[in-house]
Structure 1
Amino acid sequence: MRKLLVIIIVLLQFTSIAQTKLAGSYGIDSKVQKFLEAVHSYDGPPLQELPLDVGRNAMEYMQQDSTLTYTKVTFTKEIFKEGNKAVKVIIVKPKKRRKLLPTLIYFHGGGWVFNSFETHKRLMRDIALKANVGVVFVDYSRAPEVQYPVANEEGYLATLFVSKYGKKYGLDPTKIIVGGDSAGGNMATAVAMMAKEKGVPKFKGQILLYPVTGTNLNTGSYEQFSKGHYLTRDTMKWFWKVYAPKKETHLLPTVAPLRASLEELKNLPKTLLITAEYDVLRDEGEAYAKKLRMAEVPVISTRYGGTIHDFIVLNPLRETEASKAAVMQICTFLNNNL
């Protein structure tokens, strides 16, 4: 009974069913459509009304898949410390590897509140194996227990530690790219700004997967997809409320990267930015790509049609053509720039 309850809760993860009609099949990939139909086949409270521990456990249950194996990679848990600050990480490496591996430092999405290494384990494995890189997954402190800027500070600490002590873990400290999905994409580019300002580390690139880049919840894609397409406007409102409750922080570029001036964006690393067609975050992600270009940052920006927010991370969607192509694009970007 409890497992059934968890499944129902997880299918509700980002959708308030009581307020939403089933998303139409107008160009949505058939596998994505079936996923949305499963989501909408249940009625219940939206994510923000669930007990925090229930919401956090739910996504991990949904991401479980007994067909996935991890025998070709190694996992090393570590705590990086600097002064009175510390951050937990999990280092993922191929078992058959070079002496020193180029490195992707990765920040997970989930509205700064949800998700964990368990939700992203398959994707981290795939990237490590397909690109033959080390992946440092940053297990940063989440909201509402902490708020901005704690997660960003921990993220920057992780990058600083790899640049100083990476060789100890088989990681090349001179070949680092930062990346992340959704809120994690926001963190990745915020950390890149912090590194630029401080002068270290030097990154070879940034990978931003359907990133949160602004606090405006009235863009065209928000108006089109605010309900019924997995991630909703109401959920994003709640994420902002618990992560950055002080409205004055919303003006900061490390909170809302679209607020950055061209001078603040200039000399950020080469960027791969991926968006999804049916995603409330689509327009702000593409606006950020445009602004980066205006600041003369080399940018590859790709919109994947027929799919929804989180399509690269969600295990139920991993066999869609969009997800497979996006993973290969990520790995190609890593190989070409590390």
Structure 2
Amino acid sequence: MIHDLTTKGPRLDPAAHCLTLDAGVQSFLDRVVEAELLPYAPSLAPAVRRDIAVRLQADAPPVEEPVVHLTIPGAEAISLRLCRPAQGAARPLPVVFYLHGGLWALGGWDTHGGAAAALARSCGAALVFVDHGGMPATQALRQARAALDWTRAQGRDHGLDPARMAVAGDGSGGAMAALLAATLPPGEGFRLLLLFHPLVGPAAPDTPSSPWLDHCDLPALMAQAFPGQPAWTGLSPLDLAPDRLRRLPSTLILTAEADLAREGGEALARRLMRAEVDASALRLMGTIHDFFWLDGLADTAPTLSALAVAQRALTDAFGR
């Protein structure tokens, strides 16, 4: 701390604004950089990105609950994973409806499923995990809506309570979760919108980052996700009109300090507040994009803090 004699109080040393990562996060980054396991590195084919993401999760603990793999028939077969607590509940369970991230290129059940199942377990809920097909992004959103329609229509046959649902997502899945919530009529929506490090629009280039995303060629990835049209066409919650934003339920947005997507997530929270939606945002210092699902970050203080806040928000929402 430097004491500035021209003011009535101390001012921060400029060095205090430099990015400092949590020790566990830094250790993880050191390992993946040395092993060249960076799924967002430029010039990688989608299959290679996905393979790297799967390898990063190789030591993740298995899902504790029985997992039912369902396929919704139709023009686009949609894959769902349904998890309920091993000990059956006497009444239908609330639902965490989860949309995974990965820039529509590298996510899926085998990378994100364990973290999503643990989140649902923490609040005594069932999990509906949409294993959407990824690119193009518009197809993924269509599949998410079809999966939601199935859950609302058929959920009770599987021990679910469609009247007590929260929608959650990370990264690009966070954008889809917000858009999905905005399509529902007032009074028929989710109890909670829960977003982990959401990517909801163009990244802010001046945001502090880390080796995890330092060399990410985001424009190239967006060109793959939005073929033949400008990136984010129809898929940025930041473009929603105020009357659509007001359809969103209570919202909790958890951002990472060292993340190119941070400013977009926090901008969405501000827009929701201006639209008089019950919204809050919490920035996790010292951590990176993808902290929610990466097994190598599961025991770090920022991730544990985020999950504790998320658990409380879900528990409160399902109790309403």
TM (norm. structure 2) is 0.86
Gap runs ≥5 in structure 1: 1-23
Query: Which is higher, the Rg of structure 1 or of structure 2?
Result: 2
Greater shift, 40-49 or 256-265, is seen at 40-49
Which residue pairs with 1:315 in the alignment? 295
State how many pairs are aligned.
300
Instruction: Name whichever structure is richer in helix by fraction.
Output: 1
CA RMSD across the alignment: 2.3
Shift of 1:43: 5.9
Alignment of 1:49-128 (within 5 A): 49-65=43-59, 68-70=61-63, 72-81=64-73, 84-98=75-89, 99-128=91-120
Cα distance in structure 1, aligned partners of 2:127 and 2:120: 6
Which residue pairs with 1:225 in the alignment? 208
Cα distance in structure 2, aligned partners of 1:53 and 1:135: 27
Cα distance in structure 2, aligned partners of 1:127 and 1:43: 29
Which residue pairs with 2:3 in the alignment? none
Among all aligned residue pairs of Structure 1 and Structure 2, give the percentage whose two residues are the same amino acid.
27
Cα distance in structure 1, aligned partners of 2:37 and 2:317: 45
Matched, 1:291 2:271: yes
Cα gap change, 1:148/1:128 in structure 2, threshold over 3 Å: closer, same or farther? closer
Cα gap change, 1:88/1:316 in structure 2, threshold over 3 Å: closer, same or farther? same
Shift of 1:246: 3.9
> Partner amino acid for 1:337?
A
Instruction: Tell me the alpha carbon deviations over residues 10-31 of structure 1, each in whole angstroms, 9 at most, x when there is no partner.
Output: xxxxxxxxxxxxxx99421001
> Partner amino acid for 1:108?
H
Shift of 1:201: 5.0
Which residue pairs with 1:332 in the alignment? 312
Shift of 1:323: 0.8
Cα distance in structure 1, aligned partners of 2:149 and 2:192: 15
Which residue pairs with 2:163 in the alignment? 174
Shift of 1:173: 1.2
Gap runs ≥5 in structure 2: 1-16
> Partner amino acid for 2:250?
K
Greater shift, 95-104 or 228-237, is seen at 228-237
User: Of 231, 240, 244, which aligns to 1:260?
Assistant: 240
Shift of 1:249: 6.3
Cα gap change, 1:148/1:37 in structure 2, threshold over 3 Å: closer, same or farther? closer
Which residue pairs with 2:220 in the alignment? 238
Task: Answer whether contact 1:36 1:230 (CA < 8 A) is retained.
Answer: yes
Task: Answer whether contact 1:179 1:188 (CA < 8 A) is retained.
Answer: yes
Instruction: Tell me the alpha carbon deviations over residues 187-208 of structure 1, each in whole angstroms, 9 at most, x when there is no partner.
Output: 1011112224xx7952111111
Task: Answer whether contact 2:65 2:86 (CA < 8 A) is retained.
Answer: yes
TM (norm. structure 1) is 0.82
Shift of 1:114: 0.8
Which residue pairs with 2:6 in the alignment? none
Cα distance in structure 1, aligned partners of 2:26 and 2:194: 27
Which residue pairs with 2:5 in the alignment? none
